[in-house]
Chain A
Amino acid sequence: AQTVTQSQPEMSVQEAETVTLSCTYDTSESNYYLFWYKQPPSRQMILVIRQEAYKQQNATENRFSVNFQKAAKSFSLKISDSQLGDTAMYFCAFATETSGSRLTFGEGTQLTVNP
């Protein structure tokens, strides 16, 4: 079975500080893509960052970066210089070569950025 686990249901951080959201996953496949999606109260799911499993270098998108540990099947998201607009539900997800673009999501982490 392919699963994604996000062990932190809720997190909070002060504005301008750094926060790390955790994610572990399980798949028997060797080729897959990992994603972090953000879902603000408006409900629109927005892609934050993606990582190809065959790439050793961790992906970075401006203030967002990941720590991808393939052997440990861990994929954490670091948000630097947190902003009020980062307040949202964050979902970790992956897609495998055999599942195509079908995404398997975790349960999500509600992040609140406090002023």
Chain B
Amino acid sequence: ETGVTQSPTHLIKTRGQQVTLRCSSQSGHNTVSWYQQALGQGPQFIFQYYREEENGRGNFPPRFSGLQFPNYSSELNVNALELDDSALYLCASSRGQNSYNEQFFGPGTRLTVL
């Protein structure tokens, strides 16, 4: 069983640019959640996708957007990058959207905005 994978591992962008991060969910999982983890802090929920529909969103501006594909992989897009967007972006997949569904995390993408 393949775990959750994310690409790229590291990324450096400049302020104002756009970025796309990718996540492949674990086999059999239909739900993907994205988290932002600033240095030295706990992860903050960005949004969740369940069966290709956005299913909950945290306190992030609209320039953070996402997609989920029919194979349940997902993308996180961030437009008009700001310095504060520098963080580790974690993707997690689960079998469903319920609170008892265990989430499995990928290794993350480290984004640096200069």
Q: Which residues of A contact B (CB under 8 A)?
A: 4, 31-33, 37, 42-47, 50, 52, 91, 93, 95-97, 99-108
Q: Is the CB of A101 within 8 A of B33?
A: yes
Q: Is the CB of B41 within 8 A of A108?
A: yes
Please name all residues of chain A whose beta carbon is closer than 8 Å to the beta carbon of B94 when the two chains form the complex: 101
Q: How far is the CA of A12 from the CA of B21 in the complex (A)?
A: 35
Please name all residues of chain B whose beta carbon is closer than 8 Å to the beta carbon of A99 when the two chains form the complex: 56, 99
Q: Which residues of B contact A (CB under 8 A)?
A: 31, 33, 35, 40-45, 48, 55-56, 58, 88, 90, 92, 94, 96-108, 110
Q: List 24 A-B contacts (CB under 8 A).
A: A43-B88, A44-B107, A45-B90, A45-B92, A45-B105, A50-B102, A52-B100, A91-B43, A95-B99, A97-B99, A100-B48, A100-B97, A100-B99, A101-B48, A101-B101, A101-B103, A102-B45, A102-B56, A103-B35, A103-B103, A105-B35, A105-B42, A106-B42, A108-B42
Chain B nearest CB from A30 CB (Å) reads 12
Please name all residues of chain B whose beta carbon is closer than 8 Å to the beta carbon of A47 when the two chains form the complex: 102-104
Since A43-B108, A108-B40 are in contact, a sample of 14 more A-B pairs with Cβ atoms closer than 8 Å, ordered by chain A residue number, is: A31-B99, A32-B99, A44-B105, A44-B106, A45-B43, A93-B42, A101-B33, A101-B96, A101-B103, A103-B35, A103-B43, A105-B42, A105-B44, A108-B42
